[in-house]
């Protein structure tokens, strides 16, 4: 197996891992974040801790995609390749901040349960998580998607249909995040889910392509030793 083929399989697997970890974390967090009265539903703290572990995996996988793809992408534009790698690191950092807010919320509600009230700090921590979710897996993800899809399309690393999904999905999820920011609809809503579908399809399609067939023939690559 060639180095590029190994890179493609690794990157594809990391993209799949991001999807699984993100969905698992969101599902596991829901009982804790949805308890608006400051209570801690039975088992919610354990589920939230498991969700935090899932999102730690997500942070590593998101950063890993940027690192794994950089050697291939730099042949077709080093500046854009660096931008994508650092963009994924930024996305990971924002997600990590959200993890810390959830862990702090678990501690606060455990202590509040014993002391008889959490005050308004728990609502602030929920708000921090919600904003990191909006800025990381929405805006930062959208910008990174556009960057990678543009590079992949220009260099012919994936079929045009897959690249176009990313070029559509990236701006759409960014626009949806801005709409949520200004109160057009809730973050977790039908409209928000529909806006996220193209990016979801892009990452699944990209992952499948990279794992099964690897990168396309490329165009304008600088070959080692040439």
pLDDT digits (tens, 9 = 90+) for 115-147: 445 556 777 888 888 899 899 989 999 999 999
Give Cα 78 distance to the centre of its chain. Answer: 23
Q: Report the helix count and the strand count for the chain, using DSSP H and E.
A: 7, 0
pLDDT at 222 (0 to 100): 45
Measured distance CA(6)–CA(12) in Å, rounded: 10
Model pLDDT, residue 225: 33
Give the residue from 137, 56, 156 showing the smallest Cα distance to 102.
56
Q: Within the chain, which residues score under 50 in pLDDT?
A: 114-116, 222-226
Contact (CB, 8 A) for 138 and 176: yes
- Per-residue pLDDT at 119: 57
Classify burial at 97, counting beta carbons within 10 Å of its beta carbon; exposed 0-12, middle 13-18, buried 19 or more: middle
Q: pTM value? A: 0.87
- pLDDT tens-digit series, residues 216-226: 876 655 443 33
CA atoms lying within 13 Å on the CB side of residue 150: 13
Question: pLDDT value at position 197?
Answer: 94
């Amino acid at each position: 197996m060639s180095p590029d083929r190994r890179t493609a399989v690794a990157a594809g697997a990391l993209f799949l891992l991001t999807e699984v970890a993100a969905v698992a974390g969101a599902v596991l967090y829901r009982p804790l974040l949805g308890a608006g009265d400051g209570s801690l539903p039975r088992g919610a703290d354990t589920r939230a801790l498991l969700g935090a572990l899932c999102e730690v995996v997500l942070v590593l996988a998101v950063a890993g995609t940027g690192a794994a793809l950089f050697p291939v992408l730099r042949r077709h534009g080093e500046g854009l390749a660096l931008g994508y790698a650092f963009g994924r690191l930024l996305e990971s950092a924002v997600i990590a901040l959200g993890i810390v807010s959830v862990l702090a919320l678990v501690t606060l509600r455990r202590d509040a349960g014993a002391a008889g009230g959490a005050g308004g700090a728990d609502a602030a921590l929920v708000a921090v998580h919600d904003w990191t979710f909006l800025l990381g897996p929405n805006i930062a993800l959208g910008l990174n998607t556009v960057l990678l899809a543009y590079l992949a399309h220009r260099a012919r690393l994936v079929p045009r249909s897959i690249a176009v999904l990313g070029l559509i999905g990236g701006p759409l999820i960014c626009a949806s995040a801005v709409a949520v920011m200004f109160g057009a609809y809730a973050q977790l809503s039908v409209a928000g889910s529909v806006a996220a579908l193209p990016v979801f399809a892009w990452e699944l399609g990209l992952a499948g392509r990279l794992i099964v067939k690897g990168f396309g023939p490329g165009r304008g690559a600088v070959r080692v030793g040439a």
